[in-house]
Amino acid sequence: MSLKEYEASFLQYVRKMLNIQEAISVLYWDLRTGAPKNAVSQRSNVISQLSSDVFKMSTSNDMAHYLITMEEAISAGKCSLEVVKTVSYLRKLYDRNTKIPVDEYEAFIKCQAISESVWAEAKEENNFAKFEPYLTEIIEYKRKFVEYLGYKDCKYDTYLDQYEPGMTVKKLDEVFADVRNKLVPIVKAVSASGKNFEKEEMKAFVSIQKQKEICEQLLATLGYNFDAGRLDPTPHPFATSLNLGDVRVTTKYHENNFEKALFSTIHECGHALYEQNISKDLEGLPIAQGASLGIHESQSLLYEKIIGQSYEFWKMNFPKLKEQLSGVLDNITLDEFYKIVNNSKPSFIRIEADELTYPLHVMIRYEIEKDLLDGNIQVNELPSIWNQKMEEYLGIVPETDREGVLQDVHWSMGHFGYFPTYALGAMYAAQIKSTMEKDLSNLNELIETNDFQTILDWLKVNIHQYGAMKEPQEILKDVTGEELNVKYFIEYLESKYSKLYELEEVNKS
């Protein structure tokens, strides 16, 4: 068999894996967007079986032979860059997965699928005890798996690297310490100002159908391609890429808080735009996805926070929104609306937190995850530990576990090492925005006139098209000229919130 024929056989094998993975993604999407309650058990069995099939293919003797032969061809300089990156990606996956016994992995996947559904019920019922045994089992698997996978300095590094390649606890501790030290004085100054921009009009009734129409229009305005996606309701908003031609967005509607759906939709739009604009040359390869969760989050936060909550964005879109809401916002001006959507105060819910307090929510989860993995704390202690940290970091204590330890879906899915990527995404976004302002000298004007195609084109050329061809810090270095530098994030927040809350005056008094 010639190398060309062997490479074709290898890629056909890889595409079969991806086809099964796409089927799994559709099943998961259905579970999270309206599958009946009684479907959960059997659906979990199906997902478990298919996931096991993909796992076995990724660790099979066939895969081992493919990787060895393709690596020899790569060493001889006979493969394209896309194939080189694909082999590298699959080698890392193979080395990681061959260390975990197949039967244990299959049991974990089944536990994961059931755990997510139980979490949703426990959250609805405000019943941590219902979720506790499932989370305990998830943690036991994660502790066991990290011993199989191995680690150098810290157990948590192993999982962190799966979501943010190259990131370590040592680096993250330094970054978080720097951000914490810079943000706390700003948060305190905002609180000391005594200003609260909230208005009751924002809690007015808006039908779910009307909110859906508004959200669909916002998606279209930002450049989301409905021929390659759709919008659906869900309890916990997410975006999912089934393939490059099917990237779906979900949101959650609140009849008496339309603002939540607006910004969760814009957030998920950022994720979806990334996936919809990956180069078609990567289609059918495992690298046709985001470079990392942190880079992915940089795109969602760039759209939600930096663009979607900017004054420039609402100069054109606020009059449209007022018209669509038929009187709800008649007594609110553009200036007031801008302040309302950027109001800062400590909150119980992470996804509702503002830019200033959000990193503190991430730090709480980061510290708990490290301690859980190391066995320093146990699952039954989580509600009290959570509340203690909320009081320490944010000065507030949730009255219910629904608003506290049960609020996020991530632990039910075993996604340890995931949360830090949210904060990293915000830092990456500010750094990327700084470079975008230099390259697109009229960035604010583009936002003000809804010229999002120019912005999307820039992002596609510099970030989106590459998929996972590059690692996170490589992308930052190529785009901005340096690796992660938190000064851009700090400067962005200082500038924005100093003006909003007139902090200079507060500091002088």
Any idea which residues carry the catalytic annotation?
268
**DSSP track, 366-425:** HHHHHHHHHTSS-GGGHHHHHHHHHHHHHS---SSSTTTTTS-SGGGGT-TT-THHHHHH
Between the alpha carbon of residue 401 and those of residues 14, 28, 284, 394, the distances in Å are: 43, 25, 42, 16
d(CA 374, CA 350): 24
Judge contact between 362 and 422, C-beta under 8 A. Answer: yes
**Please, what is the Cα angle at 133 between 128 and 134, to 5 degrees?**
95
Judge contact between 459 and 298, C-beta under 8 A. Answer: no
**Surface-to-core class of residue 356, CB atoms within 10 Å of its CB (0-12 exposed, 13-18 middle, 19+ buried):** buried
d(CA 200, CA 195): 15
Judge contact between 343 and 354, C-beta under 8 A. Answer: yes
Phi and psi at 247, nearest 5°, equal -115, 110
Instruction: Copy the structure tokens of residue 377.
Output: 């704390």
Contacts (Cβ under 8 Å, ≥6 apart) of 406: 119, 122, 123, 126, 128, 131
Residue type present at position 470: K
Judge contact between 303 and 464, C-beta under 8 A. Answer: no
Instruction: Copy the structure tokens of residue 124.
Output: 């609805």
